[in-house]
């Protein structure tokens, strides 16, 4: 079973992702800020991180950088999701080393498809 980290400060968004992951063989670990996520990441070994770009304490790309500093996470796939779609921001996010970007709102099918495409093949 694959395990992923999901970080979003919006509890409704977390519940939505939980709902859609229940239909898969993917286990989610859910956090509402970067600090919680980074603390838990010291003992979790996720196969992927799904990170909101705009969080109160840090950007999703900053969380990604910290996660990838942890031993064994150097090549961790990271999917950033964001409601911000400005023509300047999306290229910046994509150029930061993320694996992919998903814009909100998204369809459940697209969410699961993107996650599964980034997970290591078993």
DSSP result, 33-71: SHHHHHHHTTT---SEEEEESB-SSSBHHHHHHHHTTST
In this predicted structure, what is the pLDDT of residue 28? 97
Q: What pTM was estimated for this model as a whole? A: 0.93
Mean pLDDT across the stretch 70-97?
86
- The domain spans of the chain are 2-118
C-alpha to C-alpha distance for 43 and 8, rounded to whole angstroms = 20
HSE-up (13 A, CA, CB side) for residue 109: 0
| pLDDT, tens only, 39-67 | 999 899 999 999 999 999 999 999 999 99
Q: What mean pLDDT is reported for the chain?
A: 92
Assigned CATH for 2-118: 3.40.50.2300
C-alpha to C-alpha distance for 34 and 24, rounded to whole angstroms = 25
In this predicted structure, what is the pLDDT of residue 93? 82
In this predicted structure, what is the pLDDT of residue 122? 65
pLDDT band of residue 90 (cuts 50, 70, 90) is confident
| Statement: residue 104 has pLDDT above 70 | yes
């Amino acid at each position: 079973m694959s395990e992923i980290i999901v970080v979003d400060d919006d509890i409704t968004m977390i519940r939505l992702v939980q709902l859609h992951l229940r239909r898969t063989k993917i286990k989610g670990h859910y956090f509402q800020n970067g600090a919680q996520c980074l603390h838990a990441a010291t003992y979790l070994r996720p196969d992927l991180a799904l990170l909101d770009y705009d969080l109160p304490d840090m950007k999703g790309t900053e969380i990604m950088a910290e996660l990838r500093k942890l031993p064994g996470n150097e090549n961790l796939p990271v999917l950033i999701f964001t409601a911000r779609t400005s023509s300047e921001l999306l290229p910046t996010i994509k150029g930061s080393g993320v694996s992919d970007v998903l814009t909100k709102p998204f369809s459940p099918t697209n969410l699961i498809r993107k996650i599964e495409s980034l997970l290591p093949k078993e």
